[in-house]
Structure 1
């Protein structure tokens, strides 16, 4: 199955597989984040800018999105030979619902200076399977495969693999497929049960040193709740070749009554 079906050049219909997690009558924002990454990626290719790669994806979540058709647009905000800024927006009934600004950077061979102090995660095979529906409702959460190890309250290492394709009958890049899982980080290292505290994120920013490879996306995640109603989820991203970037999300906290 697929999370989205293309209805036209710039119109997309979500399937029931996008439902959840805070409200099963609305889309989980994760697949839509992947869809916008795909549109930025395909626009880059259509403009002949395969010399550029996506280094940052910065999303603003402007409101809940029902499981209904959406319209998209992509605009080059800042063209350039070595650096470009591209914006893509998903709207529902003429209301912008999700926006991303992506920095595209020209690549070159820097293997001679490459390195990081960040160590690898345990492999997916080394972590136990975890059923995410024990924490969250919705068809999207039920569709993903999870291997997880909880380190302590609000800290976990885990691997995610999508069970469905992002876009029906359309090939997407490994980056777009991985981006469709980035938002799940906020729900896999919970500091409080969602029936006790609501902690939806209003943004998501991914910084990527390289494109991910393979089906599995790894996360080393920490969740912090502040004393004034604001929290943060911070993750180091991995694939099976090692660390590749980070994801950060700001949280709007609310004690459930």
Structure 2
């Protein structure tokens, strides 16, 4: 990752976005994936503890935000022997733009015996070629490898790898890396051949374990929509196998986004 092109720069209590923090829907709008990453970063920084695992992160993206400095505040909601719950609120000077909730669970001994349902490792090889570049439109500020064209029949699959730090020159933690990748559940589960016609309102990432390296794989495994409201699901992988799932809800958007996302 480049240490000179972070998405945000810390200035006092605010995080100031760089130009490449914009999203694909509008050149003057912050990308929702970065808000999830900032929430994960703050929750981990302030509420992590050895032996407690970030098992769930829900990010509500209920307000489009222009490219303004943001602040992230967190609060501890519940702190028990086996479970900890913490919330985050992300704001600009125009008000609250997103919120998040994390559940941390105490790790322990894995139960014996076979499971009735086991998610298999996918057969998508780890990328060895340079990342794909889609000419024109919004260029993703991360490395992306697609296994099939957007909207093609069957499960959509991508490998992702971050190129830039999130804040200043801080290394990305595995939890933040997973939170950033999870937002891609929306285009993978909701895209069609002529573009993406749904914009997601949230995403919920569940993790049995954290990614072991810089590659995160996302596989679209479900989509249901009716009346302009959609829900989608993906399986999240690393190079060792599946690590969790992500679900999104989305609303139909009048203008479709091109498949260069």
Q: Deviations over 1:101-137 (max 9, x none)?
A: 1011111131755866222221223799433556x51
Counterpart check, 1:84 vs 2:84: yes
Superposed structure 1 runs of 4+ greater than 6 Å apart: none
Counterpart check, 1:34 vs 2:37: yes
Aligned match of 2:102: 102
Matched residue SS, 1:179: helix
Q: Deviations over 1:6-33 (max 9, x none)?
A: 223x421111121121111111111221
Report if the CA contact (8 A) 1:166-1:177 is conserved.
no
Change in Cα spacing, 1:247 to 1:184, as seen in structure 2 (3 Å) is same
Q: Deviations over 1:142-199 (max 9, x none)?
A: x2111111283473111011111111122331111221121123224522534xx631
**Equivalents in 1 of 2:114, 2:95: separation in Å?**
43
Aligned match of 1:150: 148
What TM-score comes out, normalization by structure 1 length?
0.87
Aligned match of 1:217: 216
**Equivalents in 2 of 1:2, 1:223: separation in Å?**
33
Aligned match of 2:259: none
Map 1:50-199 onto structure 2 (within 5 A): 50-93=50-93, 95-110=95-110, 112=112, 117-121=118-122, 122-125=124-127, 129-132=131-134, 137=138, 141=140, 143-150=141-148, 152-153=152-153, 155-188=155-188, 190-194=191-195, 198-199=197-198
Change in Cα spacing, 1:247 to 1:128, as seen in structure 2 (3 Å) is farther
Counterpart check, 1:18 vs 2:16: no
**Equivalents in 1 of 2:188, 2:134: separation in Å?**
8
Counterpart check, 1:232 vs 2:231: yes
Matched residue SS, 1:198: strand
Matched residue SS, 1:57: strand
Counterpart check, 1:7 vs 2:11: yes
Change in Cα spacing, 1:250 to 1:192, as seen in structure 2 (3 Å) is farther
For these two proteins, the number of residue pairs brought into alignment is: 247
**Equivalents in 2 of 1:94, 1:101: separation in Å?**
22
**Equivalents in 2 of 1:256, 1:74: separation in Å?**
35
Q: Which residues of structure 1 form unaligned runs of 5+?
A: none
**Equivalents in 2 of 1:87, 1:248: separation in Å?**
19
Change in Cα spacing, 1:113 to 1:68, as seen in structure 2 (3 Å) is farther
How big is the shift at 1:58? 0.7
Larger helix proportion of the pair: 1
Change in Cα spacing, 1:132 to 1:174, as seen in structure 2 (3 Å) is farther
What TM-score comes out, normalization by structure 2 length?
0.85
